[in-house]
Amino acid sequence: MILQPLFPLYVTLPLFALMIALCTWQIIVVTPKRFDSTKGTWIRRLLMSVLLLCICLGPSTQSVDNDESVSDIVAVFAVDNSGSMSALDDPQDGTTRLDKVRADVESLVNYLPPSEYTGIVFNSVSNISLPLTRDVDSTINWARSITPEITKYSKGTDLVSLVSVLNDAVVHIKDVKPNSRIFLYYFSDGDVPSGEKIGGYSVLRQEIDGGEVFGYGSTTPARMLSYSPDMTAIDNLMSSADSGPRKSISSNTVDFIKDPSTGQDATSTLNEPLLTSVAQNLNLKYETRTSNEPVIKSAKSVYANSWIYNQSFQTKTYTNLIIWPFVMGFGILVLIELFFFISLGSLKEVINV
């Protein structure tokens, strides 16, 4: 049993010492020999003061939970949601590149050891849209909620800004978890504006302990779905990755992004050389995603490291207030006090009549 005072002791103790001293003085000094209603009232008030003091002192018990295993892995998911990620490489399948990314992120989360997660979405701008969390459900819901960049605001992919945001995320992780091992999972089709540089990914090489770069798409040009939040048909197409098989896509059901120079449907292809270069700069493996099989090879590779089995156990201490017996006793005495107060008032009315 420990005490968890509800109020500062320098306030609680003097106040209740005064109350208890007053009640005791009334019982011993003012009514020392007789036992009447007045003495009974002060005895009740003394008991109420003692019970209320017990409540304010916060008697508690502590329980310790050592069952939650904690690894020192932080998985960073960097997801490209630029317009090209809404490309339909297989119109009959009806699955966009971003749909496949959602499924792959969920697969990784489910197969990785107990980890912490953070997520970055990038296009012409980059931002951390999933703060550092250990909540698996929140991470999966974040992945399912990623939508393509709105077409009318699309300006391509800025890889330089992504490096800056990635660096900020790594710095934050190292600040709050100095001994963490950072695994970066990078999802993109590499389709960037002509002449776009890959950025200074090499500066992150020393901070990244593992991960993989995943490429989506093919060398065959694919049309890209136009996305606007007010287009119900597109919203349905961009639903979460677990929504089941999609219907085949035809030009009569949706709009496609247009090439402003020709007025024809714009197309996108996988830029494998660029993604390979990104992987090399980060000292990571590169894989082109060509099937619907879950991405578990990379997750299993984490288990191949001997240090993953040296998981610590997070000790959590829970404090449980045990004040209900005192509250019940105090409540009973309050009811008794009210009964006598009301009874005395009724008696006075009878006497006055």
> What's 289's domain CATH number?
3.40.50.410
Same domain, 332 and 261: no
Do residues 133 and 267 both lie within one domain?
Answer: yes
Smallest CA-to-CA distance from 88 within 275, 255, 231 is with 255
pLDDT at residue number 308: 53
* Structural domain count, the chain: 2
Highest mean pLDDT among 157-166, 207-216, 240-249: 207-216
Q: Are 258 and 302 part of one and the same domain?
A: yes
Structural domain of residue 205, as residue ranges? Answer: 72-310
**What is the per-residue pLDDT for 234?**
44
**Is the backbone of residue 126 left (phi > 0), alpha (psi -120 to 50) or beta?**
beta
Percent of the chain residues past pLDDT 70, beyond the cut: 78
Tell me if 72 sits within 8 A of 181, measured CB to CB. Answer: yes
pLDDT digits (tens, 9 = 90+) for 71-130: 788 999 999 998 889 888 887 778 899 999 999 999 888 888 778 899 999 988 899 999
> Could you tell me if 168 and 290 lie in one domain?
yes
Whether the pLDDT of residue 9 is over 80: the answer is: yes
Confidence of residue 227 (pLDDT cuts 50, 70, 90): confident
Mean pLDDT over the full length of the chain: 80
Query: Is residue 169 domain-shared with residue 35, that is, in the same domain?
Result: no
Least-confidence region, from 20-24, 186-190, 257-261, 341-345: 341-345
- What value does the mean pLDDT take over residues 159-187? 89
pLDDT, tens digit, for every residue of 260-289? 778 888 888 899 999 999 999 999 999 998
**Do 10 and 143 have their domain in common?**
no
| Cα 60 to Cα 49, 174, 328, distances in angstroms | 19, 36, 16
Are 188 and 217 in contact by the 8 Å Cβ rule? The answer is no
**146 and 186 inside one domain:** yes
Label residue 143 by pLDDT band (50, 70, 90): very high
Together in a domain, 118 and 266: yes
157 and 59 assigned to the same domain: no
At residue 215, does pLDDT exceed 90? yes
| pLDDT of residue 322 exceeding 50 | yes
Bigger pLDDT: 326 vs 243: 326
Question: Domain check: are 56 and 81 in the same one?
Answer: no
Beta strands in 52-189 (DSSP E): 59-70, 73-80, 116-122, 126-133, 181-188
pLDDT of residue 233: 45
Per residue in 261-291, is it b (16+ CB within 10 Å) or e — as a string? eeeebbbbbbbbebbebbbbbbebebebbee
Q: What is the DSSP letter of 205?
A: T
User: 143 and 7: one domain?
Assistant: no
On whether both 263 and 341 belong to a single domain, the answer is no
Q: Is the pLDDT of residue 235 over 60?
A: no
